Every structure is written in structure tokens, then in C-alpha cells.
Amino acid sequence: MPDVTRLAFFGGVYSNSLALEAALTHAKRSSADGLYALGDFGGFGPHPDRVFPILLDAGVESIQGNYEESLSSGAEDCHCGYTDPRDNHFAQISYDYTARKTSSEWKRWMRTLPKTRRLEVAGRKVLLVHGSPRKINEFLWESTSPVSFLEKMLADSDADVLVCTHTGLPWTRLLPSGRRVVNAGVLGRPANDGRTNVWYARLTFGRDVSVEFVPVEYDHEELARRMREERLPGEFIETVSTGWWTTCLEILPAKERERGRY
Amino acid sequence: MPARFLRAPIAPTVSDDGLYPFVPSISLDTLWFQVAGTICNLKCTHCFISCSPSNHSHEMLTLGEVRRRLAEAIPLGVREYYFTGGEPFGNPEMLPILEETLRQGPATVLTNGMFLSPDRCRSLKRIFDASEYSLDVRVSIDGYTAEVNDAIRGAGTFEKILGGISNLAGAGLNPVVTVTEACEEAGSPAGRARFLDWMRSIGLERPRLKVLSLFRIGAEEGRLRAYESWESLRGRHLTEDESEKLQCSSCRMVTSRGVYVCPILIDEPRARMGESLAETLRPFRLEYGACFTCHEFGVTCRT
């Protein structure tokens, strides 16, 4: 059995501390050698401050997402990168709630996080970003990130493996050059597939790099209860309970939109 | 304002005479094709490039020409491809062009909806399903009554556009309906909401709406008015953020006459930036009224 390194990558947590705990339990049980969170710890869910101690206690290495960038600089919106008024309406509700409920201590901590991170694993250069190597809030969707676009992006950023999040949907693409892109998905909300679980990505680095998307079951009913208690929008709670997205839909490309209910 | 860019800053520059700002070429994300030239079966009164059945300023592109440009686009890392005209489905090679493009990346086609027969829509759906990339069909309309729409797009067009939209939906493709901001006040939140309701009423369960600004050039210049002298970026300086929001910092337009800076300015000789894509990836002087519209109203022709 050759030496391998197993790393776990967590996309946006969106204040879903219950899913984060479940994912960490799973990652530790499957002997991950490193734990990485790719930003957007808040937004969408309740009680944002509950996430940070869990990340620190578990030794998760974190980078900023657009949420941390906005919250730590006092910005008035999340800079999620939406262009449609309905998407922006719900994004603003989510951001205003999170900004109000995140303590200044944690906002200061966010500012200390890097925006990207580079690892050298089994002779491969791994680049961690929230959106893309060039922009913290760029959406890398599977159906609109073609091979030649990704090849150039990874060559320009001197990376063999790129790990990102931001879109909410997990996918991976092995490029003809042997480079690889992994969108780790998110822990914050389901992947618009009618299932209530969320996802993280486990990469195994050996002679090859293999990618596994790990489904994480957690107490989504408890999350929904807490969201109701905090008077978060019914639309958000429906997503948690059904696995179908009800907001931030207009940004979805045609392929990804077709797979959802709304 | 947080700095969202992770790359090294690209400084916008000012032209030699100091009058107009230059927009830098940051990347080539969006490649447009004037695939039907300026040839269109309609003669809309607000068309910014005055397309008509007899306007041959730009000719149709062949599959071979598109194929050559697709090859050129690979090393430049193009992310997405857009097709417009004129009327793209007036180009006899449009379906093979889309099929070939979708092997390389996502595509969007802008159409007036007049040639969207049930058969053609089913073919489009087959092409969509066969690709790992997204295909969007954007259908233009100018009102939710025949009276309002036909005054701009021509008699009898409203019913045909509705038929095209319905055929797309019937084939399982969800079109993006495109209107100008002047249309039924779609530029305002209330007008937009009314338009979305109307789209639901014609059977689009997940209505997708793109609102475009009007450009006071081409036929539109005669319909309402031309740009006035104050509508200009003269003397302005662009921030990096403003540059990045302008589509011309990350797009180019291929026509039968060469490569232009953007889809709007193809009637401006100085907006033709060269013959090869690579040579056009340089700063562009924003000296036109249309540049003012894009800058002031945050317009992008992308969906």
C-alpha cells in the first residue's frame, strides 16, 4: 500500500454548525490528514457565531470567502456576485442577519484569514480559493467552466489541483493536462437535488489524485427549527427541509437549473 | 469596498490626448459571434445596428469560420460563446455551429423567435442534452400585447414569438426572455414583476428575464433620439472595479469583417481591433455614446 495523503475540504458552511459537526466527525473517522474550510462560514442559516469555535477546536485551516471579506471590512452587502434582483433580495436578508449576529471579535478574526492558500501534496501544487483564483466571488459552475478555460486558469495560477466552492454544487473535472479542478460543494445547504444531506470533498493524493464527494447527513429538522426561531425566511427553511433550492436560482446556468425543482 | 480581485491589479489608463479613458483587456471570457451578420428577417425600429433583410454591412459566418475562431479561442481560455445577428436562425448552418461550439464550452443564442418551429426546438434540446455545457436560447420581445410589440418588431410578430417561446418550452428548454428597459417599464422593479407574471401566464413555469438598455445608435437614433454630447465618458477616469464591470474588458466580437471590441460597436470602424483574437487583447478607448450607456447603467449584453 503506497503512502497516501487524505485531505478533507469543506465548502460554504452558511452557519450550519450541525452539518459542520457531522462532517468533522466523518472526516476524522476516515482519518483525514488535513481539514480545510474554503470560506463563507455565515449566511443563510442561524447563529453564525457557533461555527467559529467548532472550526478552531477541530484544527480546520480556513481561508476567506466573500462573506468574511465583506463582514470583516464592514461592507453593506455580501458581494456574492448575483445579478438578478430576486437573488439579491434574499442574499441581502441573509447578509443583514449574519452581519448583525456575528460578534466583532469573530469579524476581526476573519480579517486575519488568507484569501487563498497553497499546499504541496505528494509533489502536486494545490491551490485553495473560495470562488476562483482570480476573484473571490467568481462562480465556477460545472456547465459553464469549459476545459480550455480551466486549463488556462490553472496554468496562470501555477496549480496542479484547484479546490473551490461558492456555487453550492459539487463537481470535479480532470483536465487533459492531468490538472484537476474540484468544487467541494457546501455544508450550508443541500445541493438542489431533492435530498436533505449536504456534501464535502475528500481528496486522496498518491500516485494519482482521487476525488470523492462525501454525503453528510445531519439533523436538518433541528436546523429548520432554529431557523424558524430566528425568523429566517420560509424559503430558506424549505430548502433545508426538501433539498430543493428556492432562492439564488437565477444565477444557475441552464444545465444546473434544469436539474432542480424551481 | 473590499478588494475582490486576487490577481495583480491592472491599472486603467487614459488616452494620449487625456480625453477618454481606456478600458484594459483583463481576459477573454466571452466570445461573441455576429453569426447572422446584420441580416435579419425583421426590421425593428430600435435596432442599434439597423439589421434588416438587406443590410449586408456584416455577412453571415460559415461553420468553417466559426470553427477556426473556436480553435483560436482555446489557448486564450475563453469561457463562453454567444451568437447574435441579425437573426442567427436565418443562418442555415446554425444548428451544426451550436453543436460544434457546445463540444468546447457553453453557448447562448440571441434570437427573435420567428424561426423556432417545434422541430427546430426539439433539435436544440437534443444538442443541449448531448453536451456537458449549458445552452441558453434568448428570445426578444417588446411587450406583452401584440399592439405594443408589433409597433417595434413588425406586424404579426407577437404571435410568432409566443409560438417560438411555447415551442422551446414544449421541447423542454427554458428560454431567457429579453426585453429592453423601455418595454412595459421592465427596467423598474414593478414593471419587472409584471413582466415575470406575464411570462408565467404564457406557461413559463420558471420565467427567466433579461432586461437590456437601449443604445441610441442605429435605427434607435431615428426612433427616439441620438446621444447628446454630454452622454460621454470624456474626461472620466475608470476605477479597476468599473473596468471589470464593463463587458469590453473581458469580451470580443467576431464578425465577417474581423474582430470588434464588443457586440454593440460593430458599425464603428475604430472599434474593429484586428483580424486575430490575440491581437485585439489590448486596451480600448471608450469614446462612444454607447460606452457611456454601458458605464452609467452597468449594462452587459451577457445574460
pLDDT of residue B2: 46
pLDDT of residue B15: 58
Burial letters B218-227, b for 16+ CB under 10 A, else e: bbbbeeeeeb
Range(s) of the domain holding residue A94: 5-257
Residue of A nearest to B5 (CA): A135
pLDDT of residue B298: 87
pLDDT of residue B6: 76
pLDDT tens-digit series, residues B41-59: 999 999 999 999 999 999 9
CA distance B68 to B29: 17
pLDDT of residue B17: 66
Asked if residue B86 has a cis previous peptide bond (ω within 30° of 0), the answer is: yes
Query: B155 lies in a domain?
Result: yes
CA distance B5 to A66: 11
Query: B20 lies in a domain?
Result: no
CA distance A232 to B27: 39
**CATH code, domain with A193:** 3.60.21.10
Residue of B nearest to A143 (CA): B133
Whether B134 sits inside 8 A of A143 (CB atoms) is yes
Query: B7 lies in a domain?
Result: no
| DSSP single-letter state for residue A184 | -
For residue B281, pLDDT over 60 is answered with yes
Whether B208 sits inside 8 A of A116 (CB atoms) is no
Residue of A nearest to B6 (CA): A134
CA distance A137 to A152: 19
Return mean pLDDT, chain B.
Answer: 93
CA distance B147 to B150: 6
Helical segments of A30-184, H only: 51-57, 66-73, 85-101, 104-111, 147-156
A250 touches chain B (CB under 8 A): yes
The mean pLDDT value for B68-92 works out to 98
B9 touches chain A (CB under 8 A): no
CA nearest to A4, candidates A31, A39, A35, A36: A31
The mean pLDDT value for B69-92 works out to 98
Query: B144 lies in a domain?
Result: yes
- Residues in A closer than 8 angstroms to B199, CB to CB, are none
User: How many angstroms from the chain centroid is the CA of residue A77?
Assistant: 18
User: Which single residue is written with the C-alpha cell 406575464?
Assistant: B198
A70 touches chain B (CB under 8 A): yes
Task: Check if the beta carbon of residue A186 is closer than 8 Å to that of residue A40.
Answer: yes
For residue B1, pLDDT over 50 is answered with no
Backbone angles phi, psi at B175, to 5 degrees: -75, 160
| DSSP single-letter state for residue B24 | P
CA distance B202 to B200: 5
- In DSSP notation, B145-180 reads SHHHHHHHH-TTHHHHHHHHHHHHHHHT--PEEEEE
Backbone angles phi, psi at B21, to 5 degrees: -75, 155
Strand order of the sheet with strand B21-23? B13-14, B21-23, B284-285
CA distance A91 to B82: 28
From A150's Cα to the closest Cα of chain B, the distance in A is 7
Q: Which three cell numbers stand for residue A230?
A: 430566528
From A30's Cα to the closest Cα of chain B, the distance in A is 32
Whether A152 sits inside 8 A of B76 (CB atoms) is yes
pLDDT tens-digit series, residues B15-43: 556 699 999 999 999 999 999 999 999 99
Q: Is B276 helix (H, G, I), strand (E, B) or coil?
A: coil
For residue B138, pLDDT over 50 is answered with yes
Number of folded domains that form chain A: 1
Q: What amino acid occupies position B281?
A: L
Rg (CA), chain B: 19
Number of folded domains that form chain B: 1
Between the two ends of chain B, the Cα-to-Cα distance in Å is 25
User: Which single residue is written with the C-alpha cell 468533522?
Assistant: A24
B27 touches chain A (CB under 8 A): yes
Extended strands (E) in A195-258: 198-205, 209-216
Residue of A nearest to B188 (CA): A85
Task: Check if the beta carbon of residue A129 is closer than 8 Å to that of residue A164.
Answer: yes
User: How many angstroms from the chain centroid is the CA of residue A99?
Assistant: 19
Whether A152 sits inside 8 A of B77 (CB atoms) is yes
User: Which single residue is written with the C-alpha cell 424551481?
Assistant: A262
Residue A96: partners with Cβ closer than 8 Å, 6 or more residues away: none
**Closest to A135 (Cβ–Cβ): which among B4, B133, B173?**
B4
Whether A134 sits inside 8 A of B5 (CB atoms) is yes
Q: Is A34 helix (H, G, I), strand (E, B) or coil?
A: strand
Backbone angles phi, psi at B82, to 5 degrees: -125, 140
Backbone angles phi, psi at B254, to 5 degrees: -95, 125
Q: Which residues pair with B31 in a beta bridge?
A: B81, B252
Strand order of the sheet with strand A124-128? A117-121, A124-128, A161-164, A180-183, A171-174
CA geometry: angle A196, A200, A202, nearest 5 deg: 145
**ipTM greater than cut 0.85:** yes
For strands B80-84 and B21-23, give the pairing: unpaired
Range(s) of the domain holding residue B54: 26-297
CA distance readout (Å), B82 to A153, B26, B110 = 21, 19, 8
Q: Which residue stretches of chain A have pLDDT < 70? A: 1-2
CA nearest to B254, candidates B67, B40, B100, B92: B67
Chain B, 154 to 213: residues with Cβ < 8 Å from chain A are 173-174, 189, 192, 206, 208
A233 touches chain B (CB under 8 A): no
From A69's Cα to the closest Cα of chain B, the distance in A is 7
Query: B175 lies in a domain?
Result: yes
For strands B30-34 and B251-255, give the pairing: parallel
**CATH code, domain with B96:** 3.20.20.70
For strands B176-180 and B135-140, give the pairing: parallel
Query: A262 lies in a domain?
Result: no
- Residues in A closer than 8 angstroms to B75, CB to CB, are 148, 152
User: How many angstroms from the chain centroid is the CA of residue A253?
Assistant: 18
Query: B9 lies in a domain?
Result: no
Residue of A nearest to B132 (CA): A143
